[in-house]
Structure 1
Amino acid sequence: MFIRKPKSTYIFLITLFFIIVGLVSCKVARFVYYNFADIGDYKKFPSRSLNNTGQKFSFYQTEKGKFPKNINPDQHGEVPFDQYLEENNTVAFMIIQNDTIQYEKYFQGYNQAAIVPSFSMAKSVTSILIGCAINDGLIKSINEPVTNYIPELRKNGFEKVTLEHLLQMTSGLQFNEGYSNPFGEVATFYYGTNLRKATTELKLKRAPGEAFEYVSGNPQILGLVLERALKTKNITAYLQEKIWQPLGMEYEASWSLDKKNNGLEKTFCCINARARDFAKIGRLYLNKGNWNGQQIVPESWVRQSTKVDTSKGSAWYYQYQWWLPTKNGDFMAAGILGQYIYVNPAKNLIIVRLGKNKGTANWEQTFVNIATGY
């Protein structure tokens, strides 16, 4: 005979489960509660603010913008461009050529002032800051071993891992990038509350320089290197000083932290900003690190970060935390839910796409196809 248990029993068991999970791991509890990453995540985590108190930079605008009216995504027929963007869960899309906004549209209740987290586009920004820190003499060289800054990693055999290995994702790091695994390292880094401890406990699974493997542990190690190189200044403050203020960002922004008090920036993800300001990061690299006559980032760093290179185990399509869609000089920052800053220097073109997810679109090919028409 089936006996229905009282509702209070189920409530008790569910409550007990979450208490146990919480005791075992705060990270797992947060994973269960929040489930998977979404573009509202900037509201979930503590953060540090980014501000520009000076002059604001604005792209030119035109009433007769040049952009595709229709698109043929699967070679089986054209669809209206706006429809294609909206059906693939886009919330913001911009096309900028010659400093002029050719197309700017927002979808699904979003607008020009709507905040969207960068997710892994922040990896590219972390790379920019490493280049700035080397130029400022805070970091000596990409050839330095990471243990110069994080001696705690010596116990795990990191003496031969250089900053370049981390930039190129060739460190040989043992790191589970599975976003559906609450016990994996990426969940620890995203939902955990002690990034410094988690970073210093990382291990290697192969010798550095042997193979490319995209894992978020590499840019987070770079984040800890940067924090220690900066000493008394936090990473957000350095981003504000080197990039946010000089580039004349139009809006306030933030960088998510692992915890509220004395938190560390999640340098593998989580800069929370608007489409127009993300576009300015693309403009900076489009102009080889120069901003209206001021060299913000060394040109040599921009060139090295975006050139095809297969030496030392690196993949031609990934350089210094930037993706290379083709071998024709274009490059992009990319985030897991379909956040992109695409730059095509040959066409003097920048594309920003932000979304709730990628939909079914092949965004890399879409950007290349759009660029071909300019």
Structure 2
Amino acid sequence: MTPLPRSTPSAQQVDAGGVLALLDALDAAGTEMHSLMVLRHGHVVAEGWWAPYTAERRHLLYSLSKSFTSTAAGFAVAEGLLDLDDTVLSHFPELDAEVTDPRSRAMRVRHVAAMASGHTGETLQRAVAVDPVDVVRGFLLTPPEAEPGTVFAYNQPCTFTLGRIVQRRSGHRLTEYLRPRLLDPLGIGEVGWLRHGEDDMGFTGLHARTEDIARLGQLYLQRGRWDGVQLLDEEWVADATRAHVSNEREPNPDWQQGYGFQFWMSRHGYRGDGAYGQFCLVLPEQDAVVATTAATEDMQTVLDAVWAHLLPALGAHPDADAETELAQRLQQLRLDPVAVGSGPAAPDATPRELTVVDADDRTPPGLTAVTVQAGEELVRLTLHQRTSRLEVGAAPGDWLVGEAAGRQGPVPVAASAGWPQAGTLQVEVAFLETPHRLVVTCSEADGTATARWRTVPLHQGELDTLRCPD
């Protein structure tokens, strides 16, 4: 993979002080960032990963996956595999006799692309309740409350259906279809996409690197051109990145600016975004792209910080002293490990099995026990979940990066341990290909433990599935 061109902030008329102010604001807000990459005039001018996260690590993008699905639809339209004015039902003729609701029958491809199916809310649970195997069938058998094209509702089956149409018409999964058209031309290496049945999920589940996110944003910023070649139709780019239906009733200001074809309009530019702070911000007026991965439940705070501190720095007078400070700061980014604290009560080579108690909606489902073997230099933790178990090594006062042994294969993790008080062991396990960190607190006195996510995985399942799929 040929890296994107690198440059200094000052060479691209970026004030490094604004990037520093952005980092300060995110720190002050307590936002857990995993990566940041800023491009201007096609050059990377700032980039950093909060250790133990690294540049080469793929990261779950959640709904930022939708923008890649939209791009696949753009290629399919250009190749004549589908038309935006096709009815959705025309691509699923086997359902024609079952789908009788006139609004469902009238729903067009452009409506699902724009989250304007006519439904007034999320339909995923309802669609799966109708048909857990064929989500498109469940979706089309869930009648819209309004005419398609008239209302906005963020609705996962819309994107799933769009992706399913592309996969059905092309005969390839989304990753396979995008490889020669998008991924290889942009220099995007191996990615992974979670599947539903034989299909890539489309609305979520893509794992890619931060630079891959930036490359997609740069392609759209360049109106579909890459290395002098028009890869993606310029008309599709324009159509995908303009508002098609009002979403002014959404709760946060950057979610009220309109919605395109699987892209959100922002107060500045437009973006793809995914849960917990996975962002691809495209800023045409500033000729800039910002890519982030993170683990925050307050995504608006990230955007507010970008608008307040980074936006004014794009095109501002450079500060040479700040540039030196920024380079050092970006090299030293790090998530705080667990403090060592009081240390283990006494060396004990005997593993102890503790019962998980006080389970709630932040506890991994089916997690019943943890086995702990705590030493001064290494803590071994085994998480018992239903019929599987995950074995993790943690470093007291530091991050130990490795691969946890799981039933479905190795899981990339980093784990840190400490004793906040005598007799209490805390272990934090970061699942490095996701935004998620599990905090396990063990009470040696009563033989119990609690386990809670800092951010809850939206794909709840076995812990050993929290990795990039093969």
Question: TM above 0.5, one fold?
Answer: yes
Task: Give, in whole Å, the separation in 1 of the partners of 2:122 and 2:235.
Answer: 33
1:142-161 matches, cutoff 5 A: 142-151=84-93, 152=95, 154-157=99-102, 158-161=104-107
Task: Give, in whole Å, the separation in 2 of the partners of 1:185 and 1:105.
Answer: 41
What's the Cα RMSD here?
2.9
Task: Give, in whole Å, the separation in 2 of the partners of 1:166 and 1:267.
Answer: 12
Task: Give, in whole Å, the separation in 1 of the partners of 2:312 and 2:244.
Answer: 24
Deviations 1:228-274 (A, max 9, x none): 211x322221011211011111x311111024xxx111111111011
SS at match of 2:200: coil
Deviations 1:181-213 (A, max 9, x none): xxx348879xx6654554554432222122111
Contact 1:324 / 1:332 at 8 angstroms: preserved in 2? yes
Letter in 2 for 1:342: L
* Structure 1: gaps spanning 5 or more residues: 1-55, 73-78, 179-183
Letter in 2 for 1:258: H
Task: Give, in whole Å, the separation in 2 of the partners of 1:214 and 1:284.
Answer: 25
How many positions carry a matched residue from both structures? 297
Higher mean Cα deviation, 123-132 or 151-160?
Answer: 151-160
Decide which structure has greater strand share: 2
Q: 1:69 to 1:221 in 2, by over 3 A?
A: closer
Q: 1:313 to 1:193 in 2, by over 3 A?
A: same
Determine which of 270, 288, 306 is the counterpart of 2:223: 288
Task: Give, in whole Å, the separation in 2 of the partners of 1:171 and 1:313.
Answer: 17
Contact 2:247 / 2:259 at 8 angstroms: preserved in 1? no
| Counterpart in the other structure of 2:262 | 321
| Counterpart in the other structure of 2:342 | none
Letter in 2 for 1:134: V
Greater RCO (CA < 8 Å, at least 6 residues apart) = 1
| Counterpart in the other structure of 2:163 | 223
Q: 1:104 to 1:82 in 2, by over 3 A?
A: farther
Determine which of 294, 310, 313 is the counterpart of 1:355: 294
Bigger radius of gyration among the two: 2
Task: Give, in whole Å, the separation in 2 of the partners of 1:128 and 1:122.
Answer: 10
SS at match of 1:224: helix
Q: C-alpha displacement at 1:93, in angstroms? A: 0.8
Determine which of 240, 249, 257 is the counterpart of 2:195: 257
Task: Give, in whole Å, the separation in 2 of the partners of 1:214 and 1:137.
Answer: 27
Contact 2:35 / 2:53 at 8 angstroms: preserved in 1? yes
Q: C-alpha displacement at 1:348, in angstroms? A: 1.1
Q: 1:312 to 1:228 in 2, by over 3 A?
A: farther
Determine which of 80, 83, 88 is the counterpart of 2:27: 83
Q: C-alpha displacement at 1:362, in angstroms? A: 1.9
Task: Give, in whole Å, the separation in 1 of the partners of 2:283 and 2:224.
Answer: 14
Contact 1:339 / 1:354 at 8 angstroms: preserved in 2? yes
Task: Give, in whole Å, the separation in 2 of the partners of 1:135 and 1:99.
Answer: 26
Q: 1:71 to 1:135 in 2, by over 3 A?
A: same
* Aligned: 1:302 with 2:242: no
Higher mean Cα deviation, 148-157 or 264-273?
Answer: 148-157
Q: Percent identity?
A: 20
Letter in 1 for 2:279: Y
| Counterpart in the other structure of 2:432 | none
Task: Give, in whole Å, the separation in 1 of the partners of 2:40 and 2:302.
Answer: 18
Normalising by the residue count of structure 1, what TM-score does the alignment of the two structures yield?
0.71
* Structure 2: gaps spanning 5 or more residues: 250-255, 315-470
Q: 1:290 to 1:62 in 2, by over 3 A?
A: closer
1:1-374 matches, cutoff 5 A: 56-62=1-7, 66=14, 67=16, 68-71=18-21, 80=24, 83-84=27-28, 87-139=30-82, 141-151=83-93, 152=95, 154-157=99-102, 158-173=104-119, 176=122, 184-185=125-126, 195=135, 198-199=138-139, 201-230=141-170, 232-249=171-188, 251-259=189-197, 263-310=198-245, 316-326=257-267, 330-359=269-298, 362-369=301-308, 370-374=310-314
Q: 1:64 to 1:221 in 2, by over 3 A?
A: closer
Contact 2:127 / 2:135 at 8 angstroms: preserved in 1? no
Task: Give, in whole Å, the separation in 2 of the partners of 1:334 and 1:146.
Answer: 25
